Structure 1
Amino acid sequence: MGFFNNVIEFFQTGGTFMYPILVVAALGGAVAIERFIRLHLERRSNRNMWDKLQPVLASGDFDRARNLVKQDESSVSKLLSMGLARQGAVRRREDIEIAMEESMMEITPQLEKRTPYVALFSNIATLLGLLGTIMGLIEAFTAVANANPAEKADLLSASISVAMNTTAFGLMTGIPLLIVHALLNSLTGEIIDSLEMVSVKASNLIDGATRRRFEVEPGKSKLSSEKTAPAKTNPVAQQVETA
């Protein structure tokens, strides 16, 4: 109870600027929690989906791969859906890679969404703390100017001590939010790097499966043409027989 009472006293003696800092702390914490949950779920769903898609792409069953990505909402599915759609229309590797790069440009802003707000709230909390201290010092010096000379020193030291509470609270809010912002950036970068890796691996798998398919199909067509082609007759032999 002693610690709790000290916290309440610290907050109450800080002045009116403690309340805006508290609101900023609540908003920053809410955004940080939402981003952490969203990114962790996204990373897990991407891993699960890629584990399902990798053997399907390696086998060359592109129709099944298209059905899998249509039924899923992960970033990996959104990324590969563009590449697989382009694979059905064209067979050039460059066109498939361009399609996935276009999809990557749409996915990246969604992953980075609202993360900059955490750093913004961190800066706002720190600046509000400094502003509260400055306003508190102005009030303190104004009050000291009208006080008795014997009480000026004690009154000034007490007023400065109270005014510093807003700076302390602003820093206690801003520093953790800044650390959280760095962690969120690191997690977002990890997901983006994994998507780029998936894009390269998927391109290699699609290209390899397509090449194997085209190596088999011409062989079949060549054999079938040899079987169905009519036997050529020798014109010299025909002339000898007729003679």
Structure 2
Amino acid sequence: MYELLKAGGLIMIPILLCSVVALAIIIERFWTLRPQKVAPRSIVNDLMARLKKKELNGKTLKDLQQSTPLGRVLAAGLINAKHGREIMKESIEEEASHVVHELERFLTALGSVAAITPLLGLLGTVIGMIDVFAEIQIAGTGNTQALAGGISKALITTAVGLTIAIPALVCHRYFQRRVDELVVEMEQQALKLVEVVHGDRDVDMSGVKSK
């Protein structure tokens, strides 16, 4: 493995750094973007039960705010519920924009890694091919084995770059999709809360609409 990396030249250093960054982001996002961590249904059910029993107070809202991203969004709405439906919705939307920004953290960097590493690999290959043609000018084309070896070494960086870029791109698309799904779920739960608080929906233990 070391010989393979050594054959790729100095351009392998930024490519390997990109691989470390991509791996770290992928692991962190897999852990952070779990549905049960971002928008657990249990929070909504518990909140609806407390609304039914009129047990909401400052401590409950503070605990809700500190629990999960969905909890932050719902707490922002409840804190401003007394100012009317529109203010409550605006508070939810404002807090949700901050939450979405946090959910998308590092995804731009992961997308950049997916875009940059193939270019770095291509750059390494171009540099390697320049060295091969420089060798041809000096020694001619008589030693075909040496030329083939030089060309294969030149292609190493492209192969490594693509090997890193493809999983990074797949994970980037996957995480973007996961964020979109979580945002939709939070929007639905927040809308349900607004309807319950302002009397457009009855409260039950499951938060299901009942008329």
TMscore range, shorter length: 0.7 to 0.9
CA deviations over 1:118-150 (Å, ceiling 9, x no partner): 110111211110000000000110011101442
**Residues 45 and 20 (structure 1), Cα distance of their counterparts in 2 relative to 1, 3 Å cut:** closer
Distance 1:211 1:49 in 2: 18
Alpha-carbon shift at residue 93 of structure 1 (Å): 2.0
1:168 corresponds to: 159
- Residue 56 of structure 1: SS of its match in structure 2? helix
> Are 2:99 and 1:139 aligned?
no
Q: Could you tell me which residue of structure 2 aligns to residue 13 of structure 1?
A: 7
Q: Kindly indicate whether the alpha-carbon contact (under 8 Å) linking 2:196 and 2:202 is maintained by their aligned counterparts in 1.
A: no
Structure 1 runs, 4 residues or longer, greater than 4 Å off: 209-212
Over 3 Å counting, the alpha-carbon distance change for 1:130 and 1:211 in structure 2 is closer
1:126 and 2:105 matched: no
1:63 aligned to which of 56, 62, 73: 56
Distance 1:149 1:56 in 2: 83
State the TM-score, normalized to the length of structure 2: 0.85
1:71-220 correspondence runs (5 A): 71-72=63-64, 73=66, 74-88=68-82, 90=83, 92-151=84-143, 153-208=144-199
Identity %: 27
- Report the CA distance between 1:54 and its aligned residue: 2.3
1:13–1:123 Cα change, 3 Å: same
Name which of structure 1's ranges 153-162 and 111-120 shifts more when overlaid on structure 2.
153-162
Task: State the TM-score, normalizing by the size of structure 1.
Answer: 0.75
Report the alpha carbon displacement of residue 189 of structure 1 after superposing the two structures with TM.
Answer: 1.1
CA shift for structure 1 position 11 = 2.2
Shift of residue 46 of structure 1? Answer: 2.6
- Asked whether the 8 Å contact 1:35–1:184 carries over to 2, the reply is yes
8 Å Cα contact 1:79-1:104 kept in structure 2: yes
Residue deviations 1:58-97, cap 9 Å, x none? x162634x53231142112211222111123x2x322221
CA distance, structure 2, for counterparts of residue 168 and residue 130 of structure 1: 9
1:45–1:17 CA distance, 2 compared to 1 (3 A): closer
Return the index of the structure with the highest Cα Rg.
1
- What is the number of residues matched between the two proteins? 200
Structure 1, gaps ≥5 residues long: 1-6, 213-243
Secondary structure of 1:121's partner? helix
Aligned-pair Cα RMSD in Å: 2.2
Unaligned segments of structure 2, at least 5 residues:
204-211
Give, in whole Å, the separation in 1 of the partners of 2:191 and 2:202. Answer: 16
What is the distance in 1 between the residues matched to 2:173 and 2:104?
A: 12
Say whether the 8 Å CA contact 1:70–1:77 is kept in structure 2: no
Equivalent position of 1:224 in the other structure: none
SS in 1 for 2:198: helix
Residue 208 of structure 1 aligns to a residue whose secondary structure is: coil
